[in-house]
Amino acid sequence: MTTDHLSPVWSHLTTANVVRGEGVHLYEADGTRWTDFTSGIGVVNTGHAHPHVVAAIRDQAERLLFAQMNVVLPPLTASLAERLAGVTPDGIDSFFFTNSGSEATEAAVKLARHATGRRYVVVFHGSFHGRSHLTMAMTTSKTIYRRGYAELAGGIVDTPFPYAYRYGWDEETAVAFALRELDTLFKGQCAPDETAAIVIEPVLGEGGYVPAPRAFLEGLRERADRYGIMLVIDEVQTGFGRTGTFWNVDRSGVRPDMLIMAKGLGSGLPIAAIGASLETMSRWQPGTHGGTYAGGSLVSIAAAHATLDVMIDERLPEAAEVRGEGLRAGLRDLQRRFAVIGDVRGPGLMVGVEFTAPDGTPDAATAKGVQRACLEERLLLLTCGTFENVIRWIPPLVVSEEEIDDALAVFGAALDRSASLERVQA
Ligand SMILES: Cc1ncc(COP(=O)(O)O)c(C=O)c1O
């Protein structure tokens, strides 16, 4: 096999030549087994190649692959929207399907602009909403996503996220600060009556696995109501049970005007969606948005139906909650042994471990060293955070207690092996 003809624009965590997957494991042709605690970056919440999803894909592929939404009206697509209306927060009852998280985010911004007749979109420091031209301008987690691509799309403004640990404050102080800065933004940069949307990840993903406190989301809701701005919740990474509830917003109870979903929806097939009220969707002029593949791949739609079945039948959000507690408890034990672990946080199975040097600065070198040591044991873990000093734990939600314990043992040994770690007496 040669990889000479693959674009070098892809970075690769490993060169594992995987050919098969099952649950939390990936296999190379010679049988070498990898434990995937990345879930393909939060995609395979149902595990690799879940049999029910695979069967649904196979059945659908034998019947019809594609039904172009501007040409025909497939019942399978309509019924997926109906099912999503049953699991999304009250008031979200109309859906537009597309292929990726970036496309869905673009669609959300276009709808918000059409629905409100306004231009500005507020995002937060550390945000990641994608890499298409518009969403790159909404992504502030790392400069690499923007480097060399100026001029970026206009109308996007950013303001602090209440990242209490980074600021060295308690949560209340961080929330008050971030809301104050947002109010300043409304006075200084984007008048509220020219602001279409506030777009937020309820748990900052690429930016470091930082949950937005409920009080912050409530503060955003209050301002959105006051000014007629749409509150758009990006659940691309947090959705489909990842954080221990079906949606992360289910935890705070804060009502979104729009929900963006992708990753977990298709268990690996490309499908994404935005949901809003029918009243909002009705303000989107027909024909002003769409795409050849928007909602058209019935194989992806079938995969999404099967994903919903598995989510509900196997109670995966509840499983994520329970397994997440065990994972965090194990990581906190390690935190007591290793001072370099500054913070362990995150709901359900969206858990971040932040590495901090003795002087309080982000310690990316140790995070990377521990990640590398885990890779040597064929445990796949990703980093995140603006300073790349957070290791993120996102196993498939079907992960067992034993598989979590095994991964924790590998992680603990990696911490042990990594030089220059300051030991703390237990
Ligand atoms: C919160 C969030 N929004 C949007 C995206 C973009 O999704 P995609 O990579 O499918 O375009 C991502 C991808 O990681 C994400 O985590």
Q: Is the pLDDT of residue 420 over 70?
A: no
CA 267 / ligand 1 centre spacing (Å): 15
Rounded-to-integer distance, Cα 195 and Cα 182, Å = 12
- For residue 35, give both structure tokens: 């434990």
CA 426 / ligand 1 centre spacing (Å): 39
Identify the residue whose C-alpha is closest to ligand 1 atom 3: 129
CA-102 nearest atom, ligand 1: 11
Select from 263, 300, 383 the residue to mutate for testing ligand 1; criterion: most ligand atoms less than 8 Å from CB.
263
Q: How many Cβ atoms sit within 10 Å of the Cβ of residue 146?
A: 14
- Structure confidence at residue 418 as a pLDDT band (50, 70, 90): confident
Select from 127, 236, 271, 300 the residue to mutate for testing ligand 1; criterion: most ligand atoms less than 8 Å from CB.
236
Rounded-to-integer distance, Cα 271 and Cα 422, Å = 45
Does ligand 1 lie within 6 Å of residue 239's CB atom?
no
Q: Is the pLDDT of residue 419 over 60?
A: no
Select from 41, 45, 102, 383 the residue to mutate for testing ligand 1; criterion: most ligand atoms less than 8 Å from CB.
102
CA-206 nearest atom, ligand 1: 16
Task: Give 307-356 pLDDT, tens digit per residue.
Answer: 999 999 999 999 999 999 999 999 999 999 999 999 999 999 999 999 99
Q: Give residue 1's pLDDT.
A: 76
Identify the residue whose C-alpha is closest to ligand 1 atom 8: 101
The fraction of the chain above a pLDDT of 90, given in percent, is 97
Rounded-to-integer distance, Cα 277 and Cα 93, Å = 5
CA gyration radius, the chain: 21
Does ligand 1 lie within 6 Å of residue 234's CB atom?
yes
Q: Is the pLDDT of residue 423 over 80?
A: no
Does ligand 1 lie within 6 Å of residue 354's CB atom?
no
Peptide bond into 402 cis (omega under 30): no
Does ligand 1 lie within 6 Å of residue 321's CB atom?
no
Does ligand 1 lie within 6 Å of residue 392's CB atom?
no
- For residue 132, give both structure tokens: 């298409």
Q: Is the pLDDT of residue 98 over 50?
A: yes
54 burial (CB, 10 Å; 0-12 / 13-18 / 19+) is: middle
User: Are 102 and 128 in contact, with CB atoms under 8 Å apart?
Assistant: no
Considering the chain, what is the average pLDDT of its residues?
A: 96
Task: Give 100-159 pLDDT, tens digit per residue.
Answer: 999 999 999 999 999 999 999 999 999 999 999 999 999 999 999 999 999 999 999 999
Task: Scan for tokens 């099952």, then name that residue.
Answer: 22
Select from 106, 123, 129, 271 the residue to mutate for testing ligand 1; criterion: most ligand atoms less than 8 Å from CB.
129
Rounded-to-integer distance, Cα 282 and Cα 293, Å = 21
Rounded-to-integer distance, Cα 349 and Cα 190, Å = 36
**What is the SS3 assignment for the chain?**
CCCCCCCCCCCCCCCCCEEEEEECEEEECCCCEEEECCHHHHCCCCCECCHHHHHHHHHHHHHCCECCCCCCCCHHHHHHHHHHHHHCCCCCCEEEEECCHHHHHHHHHHHHHHHHCCCEEEEECCCCCCCCHHHHHCCCCCHHHCCCCCCCCCCEEEECCCCHHHHCCCHHHHHHHHHHHHHHHHHHCCCHHHEEEEEECCEECCCCCEECCHHHHHHHHHHHHHHCCEEEEECCCCCCCCCCCCCCHHHHCCCCCEEEECHHHCECECCEEEEECHHHHCCCCCCCCCCCCCCCEHHHHHHHHHHHHHHHHCCHHHHHHHHHHHHHHHHHHHHHHECCEEEEECCCCCEEEEEECCCCCECHHHHHHHHHHHHHCCEECEEECCCCCEEEECCCCCCCHHHHHHHHHHHHHHHHHCCCCCECCC
Does ligand 1 lie within 6 Å of residue 236's CB atom?
yes
Residues 6+ away with beta carbon under 8 Å from 341: 331, 334, 335, 353, 354, 355, 356, 415
CA-105 nearest atom, ligand 1: 4
CA-130 nearest atom, ligand 1: 6
Task: Give 6-62 pLDDT, tens digit per residue.
Answer: 999 999 999 999 999 999 999 999 999 999 999 999 999 999 999 999 999 999 999
CA 131 / ligand 1 centre spacing (Å): 8
Q: Give residue 421's pLDDT.
A: 52
Q: Domains of the chain by range and CATH?
A: 24-46+315-417 (3.90.1150.10), 52-313 (3.40.640.10)
- For residue 426, give both structure tokens: 């237990």
Does ligand 1 lie within 6 Å of residue 257's CB atom?
no
Task: Give 254-268 pLDDT, tens digit per residue.
Answer: 999 999 999 999 999
Task: Give 209-252 pLDDT, tens digit per residue.
Answer: 999 999 999 999 999 999 999 999 999 999 999 999 999 999 99
Task: Give 283-292 pLDDT, tens digit per residue.
Answer: 999 999 999 9
Q: Give residue 402's pLDDT.
A: 98
Rounded-to-integer distance, Cα 186 and Cα 51, Å = 50
Q: Give residue 426's pLDDT.
A: 39
CA 413 / ligand 1 centre spacing (Å): 32
